[in-house]
Structure 1
Amino acid sequence: MYVLSGRKKAEKLEAVTFTELGMQESDLEEILRNSIDMICDEEESMLIVGQQVKNEKNGRSDLTAVDNNGNMVLIEIKRDRKDIEGRKEAFEFQAIRYAASYATIESPDDLVKKVYAPYIEKYRSEFELGELTSFELGIRKLNEFLRVNEAEKSFNQKQKIILVASDFDEQTLSAVSWLNSNQVDMSCYKLTPYKVKDNIYLLKEKLLPVTNYEDYYVNLMDKSLAVSIKRSKGGTRRTLPKIDAMLEWGVVKEGDVIVAKDRGNEGVLMANGNINVNEEEQSMQAWLKEIYGWSSVQTYVFAIHKESGKSLSQIREEYMARQAVEATEDPF
């Protein structure tokens, strides 16, 4: 990472470790609890429902969430590579054990009773309980999240694991690669801290699974797949073009009005892809998080282009489908 230190001069920054910064694993846990969109793609929605949840064997999972497909998501955190290498049990296998314990949760009510209600009670000041109990509010919020994301029938049919650290050892990455190839949904995110004066900056990098969107275009070139360009729930995840590409394509433009799906809140699209709301600039993700009250939101599904009435996801898919058809009709 480089930082501008003077006119037309960049100074290279050296990464530090969380240990050197005096940060504990609990500090990272709290950062991610409040900013889980750091490790979410804009194609995902996620609701944090638990922290330090104890299983029957007294093991504790760091953070627990539900995603827009109804999957239970286990987020396990280690500060630095030394913390991973110094463990008696492999990092990834600890996470697998926790995920297995969550597979026994049979219903949203069960999850709220065992996990979400205690979490709401722990952070009462962050929730508007009113006359509701923690359990009643938890049921309302979780059921709404599942309903809006059309994930009621797929609740906890699968479990996902996200591993987070400032660095990973080769054995962990090798094991996670193998698990991914055998249909275990596990991701590795590297958070590298940099200290600039009194400020700490985190650089996020997704190490596994490796994704790019070239293969998405290749799949669209296949006529047999062109009719089913929407990704099925639980299907292979893709890294798709973002709002900057859509602006470049001209399918949306600066000044277009964006509406939050089913909520009516409006903002004006800016040239940099952010949203202007009441003369305040926000990222689209931050704007939608504030509206829906979730930990992260599927940006392109819940942002509706007012003039066309289509979601940004629909507009993007239609453009890519047209490009694929044109490419097959005129390969040269």
Structure 2
Amino acid sequence: MYLISKNENTIEKIEEKTFFELGFKEREHLQEWIAKKPDALGEDLLIIQKEFDGFFDTSERLDLLALDKQGNLVVIENKLDDSGKNVTWQALKYAAYCSTLSKNQIKDIFQQYLEKSGSTEQAEDKLIEFFDNIDYEEIALNKGQTQRVILVARNFRKEVTSIVLWLMNYKLRIQCFKVTPFSLNEQLFVTFDQIIPLKDTEEYVISMADKTQDDINSQEETKSRHNIRYEFWRLLLKPINAKTTLFQNISPTKDNWLQAGSGISGVNYRFVVTKTYARAELNIARPDLVENKFIYDELLKHRKEVEELFKGELEWERHE
């Protein structure tokens, strides 16, 4: 980063520093900066608690708890010069803990924060103001699995960024902000840069995560469908084999069709199942088209007696 001098038409380098060099602390400084200016993270956030430890059966504390404009809880975890290797696990635990918080619990947590900060304001009034003055009853907070995570640090370890990118494929809403202090003479500066996902590519990354999740869901649906088909064929083969020997050497399969020979080459009995229908077929598929038509026409002559034996109408399809 450089400082521009318009008068001299020059630039002067602003030196990048570490928080350690400048004597800054995580809770005393970085946490307070964000608590007092949460829009440094690129959006309107309402801080509702600091050092929140209101979890059952644990004394762990999350750094900052916030709400976004959609009513989602946002867990903000701050580190200084090094993200550490366990920050993702830590933040995910907090997000899981927060997933059970009700609207009234969130309001109470916010009220405690206001009182602890020396404010006489009411949490309900502040929430109404933050959500653009809609009625409190209409405000929806922490609905479904919508918890978000924001990680803040000067440097992120590779194992952390790798985990974050992997988690995003599962539609976890997680962001990493690189916070960098600078100095120039007696002046100090700090920048907050969103590095995961990159701000300019955030919509693309989210759409790719949606596609990945769709692919995963599709795989699960296919696996389930295959299991259902296998079980269907297994159950169907029992009564069929009790009446005919044609399918005795046929095994259940994950495919949507099952076939056995009729004793005539190229003429097969086939069962087909889909999401919407199931059918039984006599399929005539000999190499010679003339022979296929001849067999079909001969069978068609006996249509009435075949359907009487079947006790219902059949579909007859003669492919030219």
TM-score by length of 2: 0.57
Q: Is the 8 A contact 1:3 1:12 kept in 2?
A: yes
The aligned counterpart of 1:3 is 3
Map of 1:119 onto structure 2: 113
Distance apart, 1:7 and its partner CA:
1.2
| Match in the other structure for 1:46 | 45
Q: What CA RMSD, in Å, does the superposition of the two structures yield over aligned residues?
A: 2.5
- Compute the displacement of 1:138 (Å): 1.0
The answer (yes or no) to whether the contact 2:114–2:120 under 8 Å persists in 1 is: no
Cα deviations by residue, 1:277-307 (Å, 9 ceiling, x for unpaired): xxxxxxxxxxxxxxxxxxxxxxxxxxxxxxx
In 1, are the aligned partners of 2:40 and 2:192 still within 8 Å (CA)? Answer: yes
Matches within 5 A, 1:9-20: 9-20=10-21
Q: 1:80-121: per-residue Cα shift (whole Å, max 9, x none)?
A: 12xx33x6xx111100101111111122x21122x2122111
Measured after TM superposition, the shift of residue 14 of structure 1 is: 2.7
Larger radius of gyration: 2
Compute the displacement of 1:33 (Å).
0.5
The answer to whether the 8 A contact 2:78-2:153 is kept is yes
Unaligned runs of 5+ in 1: 130-136, 220-332
Deviations 1:172-196 (A, max 9, x none): 1111111112100000001110011
Q: CA deviation at 1:61?
A: 0.7
Query: Aligned partners of 1:204 and 1:213: how far apart in 2?
Result: 17
Q: Secondary structure at the match of 1:68?
A: coil
Q: 1:66 to 1:203 in 2, by over 3 A?
A: same
Residue of structure 1 in register with 2:94 after alignment: 98
**Aligned equivalents of 2:78 and 2:176: distance in 1?**
10
Q: Distance in 1 between matches of 2:80 and 2:171?
A: 27
- C-alpha spacing 1:11/1:61, structure 2 compared with 1 (3 Å): same
Partner of residue 138 from structure 1, selected from 117, 123, 146: 123
Aligned partner of residue 156 in structure 1, secondary structure: coil
CA distance in 1, matches of 2:133, 2:163: 35
Sequence identity (%): 31
Q: Measure, in 2, the Cα distance between the counterparts of 1:150 and 1:211.
A: 33
- Contact in 2 for aligned 1:69/1:149 (Cα 8 Å): no
SS of 1:163 mapped into structure 2? strand
The 3-state SS of whatever aligns with 1:11 is: strand
Letter in 2 for 1:194: F
AA in 1 matched with 2:149: I
Aligned counterparts of 2:192 and 2:155: Cα–Cα separation in 1:
11
Aligned AA for 1:38? A
**Aligned counterparts, 1:233-244, within 5 A:** none
In the other structure, the counterpart of 1:156 is 142
Q: Secondary structure of the residue that 1:31 maps to in structure 2? A: helix
Task: Report whether the alignment pairs 1:192 with 2:188.
Answer: no
Call closer, same or farther: CA 1:215–1:105 in 2, change over 3 Å. closer
How many residues matched?
198
TM-score under structure 1 length normalisation: 0.55
Q: 46-55 or 146-155, which moves further after superposition?
A: 146-155
SS in 2 for 1:19: helix
Specify the code of the residue in structure 1 equivalent to 2:117.
Y
